[in-house]
Amino acid sequence: MAILITGGAGFIGSHLTQILLEQSDEKLVSLDNFNDYYDPALKRENVKPVANEPRVTLIEGDFCDGEAMKRLFDEHDIDQVVHLGAYAGVRISVQQPHNYQHANVGGTLSLLEAARHHPVKRFLLASSSTVYGKGAGIPFNEDAPLGIPASPYGATKRAAELLCLTYHQLHDIPTVCLRPFSVYGPRLRPDLALTIFAKAVHEGTPIPLFGDGSIRRDFTHVSDICQGFIAALTAEGVVGQEINIGHSDPIEMRKLIELLEKSFGKKAVIDYLPERPEDLPVTYANLNKAEKLLGYSPKVLIEDGIQEYVDWFRAWHS
C-alpha cells in the first residue's frame, strides 16, 4: 500500500512528502513530470531532502498518461491519492488555456480512471479558492452558490471538482475536494506574487502592483495547508465534500509589501499598474466546515510566516 502524491516535486507536494514521512509510516510515491512551467532545477532541489529515503519512490512521469497511471497504481499498490499536480496560476491560464484544460481536467480524469480500476480508500483533489469566482459571498462558504470563475485556471479547477464528485457518485470513489487559499512559504513558485515582490525588494527594483494595493488575499502557510490535507486522508464524514483550507484572515497586498519591507529591512519601490480582470478582489475562507470535519486550525501567523519565507529566500538567493 502507498500514497501517491502528484506534483510531488512542487512547492506543496515536496513539503507534504516530508511531513508525511515524519507523521506516518506509509510508503510514498512522489510523481512529477519536471516540466518547464518553471525551472525544473528548482523542483529537483525540492526533492533532495527525500531522495534517499527508503519509504519514498520518486517517479518522473505524466499523470495525463492514463495507461501509465493504471500501471503505476497496480505496480505500487496505490491506496490513497493526493492530487496536487496541475498547471497553476491565474495570469498564465489566460494565455495558455489549452495547457490548463489538458493538465487540470484531462489529468484529473486519467487519475480517476486509474482509481476506478484500482480502488483506493481516499482520493484528495487539490482544487483552488479561484473556483469561487466573482460574485461569490464573502467569506467564501463551500455550501453557497459559486460565482463565475474569473480565469481559465479557476474554471479548470471547478471542472476537476465536478469530475471528482461525479466519479464519487457513479463509481463510489472516495473523493474529497480541498480548496487551498493563497499558499506561501519556503520553496514558493517563482511566478507567484509574493516571490515577485520579494525579488523586487531584495534587488531594489520596482514591484509590479496591479491596482491600488487594496486587493486582499487569504495567505495560508504551507505547513497549515499540509496539515489540512493529512487530516483529510483519514477523517470521517469528508468523502464527497468540498472543503476550504485557508487562514480566514485576508490582508491587502499593500500590507504584504509592508511585511516584506520589515523583513528585508528595505523600502519597496512600487510600480502601480492597471487592475487585471482575472484577479478576484478578495479571497477569504470560511473555515467552519474544515474545523468541524478535519479539526483544522491554522497555526502560522502571517508576520511569522513572511519572516520565515524571507529568511529562506535570502539563503536560497545567496
- Active-site residue list: 153
Reduced to 3 states (helix: H, G, I; strand: E, B; else coil), residue 88 is coil
262: Cβ contacts below 8 Å, ≥ 6 apart = none
Q: Among candidates 185, 246, 192, 194, which has minimal Cα distance to 14?
A: 185
Q: Among candidates 265, 260, 270, which has minimal Cα distance to 309?
A: 260
Distance set, CA 158 to CA 22, 98, 165, 283, 284 (Å): 32, 15, 11, 16, 17
Structural contact between residues 253 and 280, judged by C-beta atoms closer than 8 angstroms: no
Reduced to 3 states (helix: H, G, I; strand: E, B; else coil), residue 38 is coil
Structural contact between residues 12 and 84, judged by C-beta atoms closer than 8 angstroms: yes
Reduced to 3 states (helix: H, G, I; strand: E, B; else coil), residue 9 is coil
81: Cβ contacts below 8 Å, ≥ 6 apart = 3, 4, 6, 111, 115, 120, 122, 123, 124
Q: Among candidates 166, 73, 173, 169, which has minimal Cα distance to 118?
A: 73
Structural contact between residues 215 and 279, judged by C-beta atoms closer than 8 angstroms: yes
Q: How far apart are CA 190 and CA 194, in angstroms?
A: 9
Phi/psi at 261 (5° precision):
-60, -45
